[in-house]
Chain A
Amino acid sequence: MTNLNAVDPAAVAQDAHLESADVVIGKTTIIFRRFLRNKTAVAGLAIFLALTVFSFIGGFFTQWDKETIDPFSIGMRPSADHYLGTSQAGIDLYAMTVEGTRISILIGLVVGLVSVLIAAVYGCTMAYFGGKADKVMLFILEALIMMPALLVVAVATSGGAAGLKRDLPSWLLLIIVLLVFSWMGTARLIRSMSMSLMQRDFVKAAQYMGVPPRRIVWRHLVPNIGSLLILDITRGVTAAILAEVAFSFIGIGIKVPDVSLGVLIGQATSQVSTFPWMFWVPLTVMFLLTGSLAMMNDGLRDAFDPSSSSTGKAKKARARKITAEKKTA
């Protein structure tokens, strides 16, 4: 090559710059920036955060709680005293919505996070060991997919006075049951992804360099599956919230006296025409919750896509600007 040993003055300057190790731009930062550039995703994140904050501190703005009955206002429309009105029994809807949102978000987050964790461990184990272990584990996984989760939920949460029900609040029971039935799809996806990654040249390159398997898994497999994991967390959270609402709605999930969005919506169905706000308020909150998650999911997918060209260009420009700023500083 003609330019093989040619010394580029700019490169020399950059050399010294690099020595001080401050030009390495973290990938997390880049992905974060790409996410921030997606307006829908940011809106989704904002709504989700607002709802979460609301579910924790919303209770301080009212004197009512989810149990106290206001005997003077039964089935009231929204008013200054009861921001969102009261139920047929005279319980403040605002207080119940705050509580219900918290339970729904809690169920969603716990199930979403833990099920992805289970899926990652299970899927990677299958891919890593392969052979017989893989076959047996796959069989268990498929058997679990075959179990109609709905019935198991019903059995578990309506077990009369027996067993678990006595000791655990119904939301915890629901979390456990949902967890058992929510990780299989992701696990299967992670298994096939890890298996195909193991065949990729860059993993082979690391193997041929003698990089130990543990490190290959940590440095090459996990980051490349990482985006899928995060996407699956948002997807899992959405699915868990939807499942909670669906189950509670027909009366087999969360049971009174615990409240959740599903319980509130379900209870209100019988009086939609009389007390419409009792139905529409929790429903709207649920839509905001699942909708915001779907918007975030969309933005995350774009941000993680290393081949997305338009953002890549913007990223370069921004990176250059930042280095320039650092230089002048």
Chain B
Amino acid sequence: MLKYLAKRGITYVVMIFLTTSAGYFLAVSSLKPALLEQERIPRPTPEQVANSMRLKGLDPDLSPWERYVDWLTGIVTRWDWGRSPNGAYINAEFGDRVWISTRLFLASIILTLVIGVALGVYSAARQYKVQDRVITSYSYLAYIVPAPIAYFLVQLGAININESVGDRIFFVTGISTPGLAPGWAQFGDMLAHYVVPTVAITLVGWGAYQIAQRQYLLDNVNADFVRTARAKGLTRNQAIARHALRVSFIPVAQSIAFTIPAIFAGGFFAEKIFAWPGVGSWSIDAISLQDVNAATATLAYGSVIFALGAILADFATTLVDPRVRVQ
């Protein structure tokens, strides 16, 4: 088992390396920070710009390959992901933002999975009844709404509630209220800021899981082994709960590989809309600021998240399905 995971791990490391390298070349060839610099007032001379860029390791006169080698050497030897055109160090910027993003995604991933699977089970148990129809129609609706628009609508709804109540119940932007003393007040404030974005991501995300889990469970409800369990003396509901449910988790576990990147992408939109200073909004801002190193770093982060998702899916699958366990 460990050997298998190690083998998968190596494959993913190679893949991350390749995608990140490809991303670097794409960024280097299309993002030109020097051009943006020249639009500053007072207008610097091209020499001044080139000098300032050279100091930050962003020499525009070097070929993409030379810059790639420099950049890679920095990462491999010093774990230094380079600097932004404004002189900031990627490593330092990144550290703060990763934590903000991860907290947001983690809560949403767990909620999406739990609610999606639970509703899937619930609607399967009430197949074709009103509850099932409502829940499943909602999930199909969620499929045809683009994520950022859904987030925006949630935000709009929260604002409307605030307005109609006449008090600020929900925080619709930002991660915290500045100037609060550390302690319970700050913690409570953080939670209050979390509510709207987490709810928004979860509301959009669970639909796919609900539909999948409902289908997988319905596929298994009339399986032969459920009949065997009933023949032993379990009621229908007991047999489904003890036997069919566990089996229906297998394909859901496999699909975790795709949820995590999806939530991650959703998170990008969410950060942008709710003005959270996470990796997602940073990367989009970085790109508009022609920041090669920041863009590549976020791309690498995305690849790592995907690989983690895939490994987690493998792990979850072996957990629920004895047939794939390597003896």
Measured CB to CB, the residues of A under 8 A from B are 139, 142-143, 145-152, 154-156, 158-165, 238, 242-243, 245-246, 249-250, 252, 262, 265, 269, 272, 283, 286-287, 290-291, 293-294
Contacts and interface: CB of A to CB of B under 8 A. Distances in A.
A144 to B, nearest CB: 8
B32 A155 contact: no
Contacts of A269: 152
Most chain B beta-carbon contacts within 10 A, residue among A139, A158, A164: A158
A145 B261 CA distance: 10
Contact of B16 (A146, A151, A158, A252): A146
A148 B302 contact: yes
Interface stretch (B51-59, B87-95, B96-104, B265-273): B265-273
Contacts of B261: 146, 148
21 contacts: A143-B18, A147-B303, A148-B264, A148-B303, A148-B306, A149-B265, A150-B265, A151-B298, A151-B299, A152-B299, A158-B287, A159-B32, A160-B31, A163-B30, A164-B30, A246-B146, A249-B146, A252-B284, A252-B287, A287-B145, A290-B144
Nearest to A164: B30
Interface string B2-28: 000000000000011011001100110
B215 to A, nearest CB: 13
A137 to B, nearest CB: 14
B283 A265 contact: no
Contact of B15 (A142, A164, A287): A142
B149 A160 contact: no
B295 A155 contact: yes
Nearest to B15: A143
Given A245-B149, A250-B273, A151 B31 contact: no
B288 interface: yes
Given A151-B287, A154-B287, A155-B295, A146 B269 contact: no
Nearest to B33: A160
Contacts of B36: 160
Contact of B295 (A151, A162, A262): A151
Contacts of A242: 144-146
Nearest to A244: B146
A152 B152 contact: no
B124 to A, nearest CB: 19
Most chain A beta-carbon contacts within 10 A, residue among B30, B265, B288: B30
Contacts of B73: none
Given A146-B19, A147-B303, A283-B149, A154 B283 contact: yes
Contact of B306 (A145, A162, A163): A145
A127 B148 CA distance: 37
B35 interface: yes
B140 interface: yes
Interface in B259-282: 261, 264-265, 268-269, 272-273
B48 interface: no
A14 to B, nearest CB: 41
Nearest to A272: B156
Contacts of B290: 160
A163 B29 contact: yes
Interface in B142-167: 143-149, 152, 156
Nearest to B147: A246
Contacts of B145: 242, 287, 290
A145 B23 CA distance: 13
A250 B303 CA distance: 22
B144 A155 contact: no
Which 9 A/B pairs are nearest by Cβ-Cβ distance?
A148-B302, A159-B30, A290-B144, A246-B146, A146-B306, A245-B146, A154-B287, A249-B148, A242-B146
Contact of A246 (B32, B269, B287, B298): B269
A161 B156 contact: no
Nearest to B257: A145
A246 B265 CA distance: 11
Interface residues of B, number: 43
A237 to B, nearest CB: 12
Nearest to B292: A155
Most chain B beta-carbon contacts within 10 A, residue among A151, A242, A252: A151
B32 A160 contact: yes
Contacts of B284: 154, 250, 252
A291 B137 CA distance: 12
A250 B148 contact: yes
Contacts of A162: 29-32, 35
A293 B295 CA distance: 35
Contacts of B196: none
A249 B36 CA distance: 24
B35 A161 contact: yes
Interface string B286-327: 011010000100110011001100000000000000000000
Given A249-B146, A249-B149, A147 B32 contact: no
B35 A160 contact: yes
A45 B283 CA distance: 39
Nearest to B284: A154
Contact of B143 (A150, A161, A165, A294): A294
Contacts of B16: 146
A161 B302 CA distance: 26
A156 B26 contact: yes
Contact of B144 (A154, A158, A291): A291
Nearest to A154: B287
B249 to A, nearest CB: 22
Contacts of A156: 26, 30
A262 to B, nearest CB: 8
B144 A294 contact: yes
Contacts of A245: 146, 149
A158 B140 contact: no
A143 B35 contact: no
Given A162-B35, A269-B152, 16 more contacts: A143-B19, A146-B261, A147-B299, A148-B298, A151-B298, A152-B26, A159-B32, A160-B30, A160-B35, A242-B146, A245-B146, A246-B147, A250-B148, A283-B149, A291-B144, A294-B143
